[in-house]
Amino acid sequence: MNDGMSEQPYAELGLKDDEYARICTILGRKPSDTELAMYSVMWSEHCSYKSSKVHLRQFGDKAPETDVLLVGMGENAGVVDVGDGLAVTFKVESHNHPSYVEPYQGAATGVGGIVRDILTMGARPIAVMDSLRFGEIDHPDSRRLVGGVVAGVGGYGNCLGLPNIGGEVVFDPSYAGNPLVNALCLGVMRHEQIQLARAEGVGNKVVLLGAKTGRDGIGGVSVLASATFDEESPSKRPSVQVGDPFTEKVVIECCLELFERGLVTGIQDLGGAGLSCATSETASHGGSGMLVDLDLVPLREPSMTPVEVITSESQERMLAIVRPGDVDDVLGVCTRWGVLATVIGEVTDTRRLQVRWHGEIVVDVPPASLADEGPVYDRPFARPADQDALQADTSAALARPKTGAELAETLLRLAGSPNLASRKWVTEQYDRYVLGGTVLAMPHDSGVVRLVDDSDRGVALSLDGNGRYARLDPYAGAQLALAEAYRNVSVSGARPLAVTNCLNFGSPEDPDVMWQFAEATRGLADGCRDLGVPVTGGNVSFYNQTGATAILPTPVVGVLGVLDDVNLRVPSGFVRAGDVVMLLGETYDEFDGSEWAWVTHGHLGGRPPLPRLPAERQLSNVLQTAADERLISCAHDLSDGGLGQTLVEAALVSGIGVSVTLDGDPFVALFSESAARAVVTCADADVDRLLEIVADHDVAVTRLGRTGGDAFVVTGEFALPLDTLRETHESTLPRHLS
């Protein structure tokens, strides 16, 4: 059994002394080289969630009562009932570290991996989104990183023929050495088509299908995902997977035919940890054993060792469990699609995962010890020593614009700032309308897609986060990210149903970081309970830091909502002149952590805007009702940059100006980032009915003015031509990144 290693380098593989000792106890002996490699990848943070499990349990413990969940946390992705016998599955995951080392392939394989997660649930992938974060836009490395990541996301998704319907791009100094690349995929199926990653049925065959196995990505989850970055990071390029979207496309179609014909009893993709993960998880979840012969695995390089074969993260591969009588049909389907497929093992009754190489058993372990029984740490956490001082340093003393000219200059400066400027330079590299199901995409607040060709039913998706808010107060920051995504879905007219999340933080071994993580997780779990939207699954990404400097705590939250009729969806831009413009929700003097404080003063301190979750639910109900009754022609949420930025974006969508009159302090009215607010427009004939709905739900409303003209006018303060706003808004990213 032992591969000849006397002193095993478990520390170099990322295992702690006590973890290695526990492996020896589980096995009753020292592990073989191959077993040790498998434990090192399966017990990594990426695969085992060993530092986050104790906190993630809140998502189940505090989950709201709902009948929409068909598959919850614990599978490759959650599945939600959206009516008419249809179900959708969606999930967001990180590919942060690989994208720093090799931006194009890191981002591309991030898309490929999340698409396969959706495929394993039995669904046809129909759309993708991404949440991207980089260092300052003028940082010397930003052009390389942004250009490579955007090209990788676009290149892989475009080749798969999947529309990219939205997301976010954020710039902040904390991400300079550690960009965040979070990718989301959405898939659709009928209820009866759900697949699970389980190896059941003694004697059933284990079929590996897709690309050959190579040395790319070996140990990626332990080499990259559980390590911080330093000047040696470029040497880790071999740990980055290499993607082939054309192979993935035929694998998708091949698998969908296998599902349709009922030829597989279980399915799992090969992503992080490769065969180590796919074999151990399917065997563990099926309560079975498995015998795998690595000699049968098709290899790109014949000289590969068993350790390399079992831990390779080569892309575009799937593991299927197939009844013996169906093997020929499975292989026939794969041959017709041009997909390589090989029987590499079978399901056994041993409750052991056994792996053979050159006739010798090199792995003999309980599969659950790899997949489900890894270490669980309740790591110490403590409120950072500087947290009180940070929160005491409010924005109250910062100089505010007072005159109309100063307000106009501030509006222009924000509209052209890196985080508020047009994302057209990015989104034009993505195909947003392929497949013909896209109803709304960027620059609208949420992406909306029709689910199937013969129905008007659709879903809306939004993906949001704010690291500055979370730095000031991680509990409130997580809730504000949730609230913004919830609000973005609501303004489209959709009914929010469920949540996915990607939690990006620094080292879990730092008590300050763990406090941020614990607070953010608690805030998100409480927020989902209060909004009535369950968490269906997601991802945790730790060790996002350069040296001792961690990124801003960045919980990214995706919310999915359903539209019974996509023809009733509401766009985020003005659609005609002469409409009445109204503000729904209340505005407060809330500027700590705001874009205004950061862009004009470089200031980060104080407390973020107060999350107002009951008000978010009331606002959502108003928006849904108004959309269903066709009362509103446009709806746009208020978030970063406040009312001023919202009106700029709404006006520039179709080049329709707006004139408004503001009550009270115009600075607060224009730039506050208070939550639970949205701008809507409607015809004069619909105003009274809209006001009735607003009153019924106890939502504050302010009549601002009207759409029309070719300028953004604030009565008594300033008038800015739309041409000036467009030039400012759309030139920033091309100027810095082209």
Give the pLDDT band (50/70/90) at residue 236. very low
Does the pLDDT of residue 223 top 60, yes or no?
no
Q: Which pLDDT score is estimated for 222?
A: 53
Q: What DSSP line would sit under 459-472, residue for residue?
A: EEEEEE--HHHHHH
Does the pLDDT of residue 3 top 60, yes or no?
no
Count CA atoms closer than 13 A to 531's CA, side-chain side.
Answer: 37
Name residue, tokens 């919202």. 646
pTM of this prediction?
0.95
Contacts of 567 (CB under 8 A, 6+ apart): 456
In this structure, the strands spanning 78-83 and 69-71 are antiparallel
Instruction: Please tell me the distance from the alpha carbon of residue 200 to that of residue 202, in angstroms, as a whole number.
Output: 7
Number of H helices, E strands in the chain: 26, 28
pLDDT in tens, 156-182: 999 999 999 999 999 999 999 999 999
Does the pLDDT of residue 226 top 80, yes or no?
no
pLDDT in tens, 320-358: 999 999 999 999 999 999 999 999 999 999 999 999 999
Does the pLDDT of residue 128 top 70, yes or no?
yes
Element containing residue 649 per DSSP (H, E): helix 642-654
Instruction: Please tell me the distance from the alpha carbon of residue 238 to that of residue 593, in angstroms, as a whole number.
Output: 39
Instruction: Please tell me the distance from the alpha carbon of residue 616 to that of residue 726, in angstroms, as a whole number.
Output: 31
Instruction: Over range 88-104, report the average pLDDT.
Output: 95
Does the pLDDT of residue 134 top 70, yes or no?
yes
Q: C-alpha angle with apex 262: 256 to 264, nearest 5 degrees?
A: 80
Q: Which pLDDT score is estimated for 2?
A: 46
Give the pLDDT band (50/70/90) at residue 221. low
Per the structure block, which two tokens stand in for 397? 């003393």
Name residue, tokens 């967001």. 92
The answer to which of 37-51, 139-153, 237-251 has the lowest mean pLDDT is 237-251
Instruction: Please tell me the distance from the alpha carbon of residue 330 to that of residue 520, in angstroms, as a whole number.
Output: 45
Count of all residues that appear for the chain in the document:
738
**Domains in the chain: ranges and CATH:** 55-371 (3.90.650.10), 401-421+571-738 (3.90.650.10)
Instruction: Over range 47-60, report the average pLDDT.
Output: 95
**What whole-number percentage of the chain has pLDDT above 90?**
93
Q: What DSSP line would sit under 176-194, residue for residue?
A: TTS-EEEEEEEEEEEGGG-
Q: Which pLDDT score is estimated for 502?
A: 97
Does the pLDDT of residue 246 top 50, yes or no?
yes
State how far the alpha carbon of 347 is from the alpha carbons of 199, 321, 519, in Å.
Answer: 7, 8, 42
State how far the alpha carbon of 708 is from the alpha carbons of 355, 365, 420, in Å.
Answer: 70, 70, 23
Which are the catalytic amino acids? 46, 95
**What whole-number percentage of the chain has pLDDT above 70?**
96
Does the pLDDT of residue 245 top 50, yes or no?
yes
Instruction: Please tell me the distance from the alpha carbon of residue 533 to that of residue 78, in angstroms, as a whole number.
Output: 13
Does the pLDDT of residue 5 top 50, yes or no?
no
Instruction: Please tell me the distance from the alpha carbon of residue 535 to that of residue 542, in angstroms, as a whole number.
Output: 20
C-alpha 312 chain-centroid distance = 24
Q: Which pLDDT score is estimated for 74?
A: 86
Q: Which pLDDT score is estimated for 218?
A: 81
Q: Which pLDDT score is estimated for 669?
A: 98
Q: Which pLDDT score is estimated for 465?
A: 97
Does the pLDDT of residue 697 top 50, yes or no?
yes
Mean pLDDT of all residues in the chain? 95
Give the pLDDT band (50/70/90) at residue 235. very low
Instruction: Over range 453-459, report the average pLDDT.
Output: 95
Q: Which pLDDT score is estimated for 241?
A: 81
Inter-residue contact 197 to 116 (CB < 8 Å): no
pLDDT in tens, 436-449: 999 999 999 999 99
- 582 bridge partner residues: 680, 703
Output b/e per residue, 156-190; b: 16+ Cβ within 10 A: bbbbbebbbbbbbbbbbebbbbbbbbbbbbbbbbe
Burial of 372 (0-12, 13-18, 19+ CB in 10 A): middle
Does the pLDDT of residue 231 top 50, yes or no?
no
ω before 324 within 30° of 0 (cis)?
no
Smallest Cα–Cα separation from 210: which of 291, 87, 86, 312?
Answer: 312
Contacts of 4 (CB under 8 A, 6+ apart): 33
In this structure, the strands spanning 438-440 and 69-71 are unpaired
Per the structure block, which two tokens stand in for 45? 């943070």
Smallest Cα–Cα separation from 342: which of 213, 516, 240, 490?
Answer: 213
Taking the alpha carbons of 216, 222, 225, 228 in that order, is the dihedral positive or negative? Answer: negative
Does the pLDDT of residue 468 top 70, yes or no?
yes
Instruction: Please tell me the distance from the alpha carbon of residue 415 to that of residue 577, in angstroms, as a whole number.
Output: 22
pLDDT in tens, 478-529: 999 999 999 999 999 999 999 999 999 999 999 999 999 999 999 999 999 9
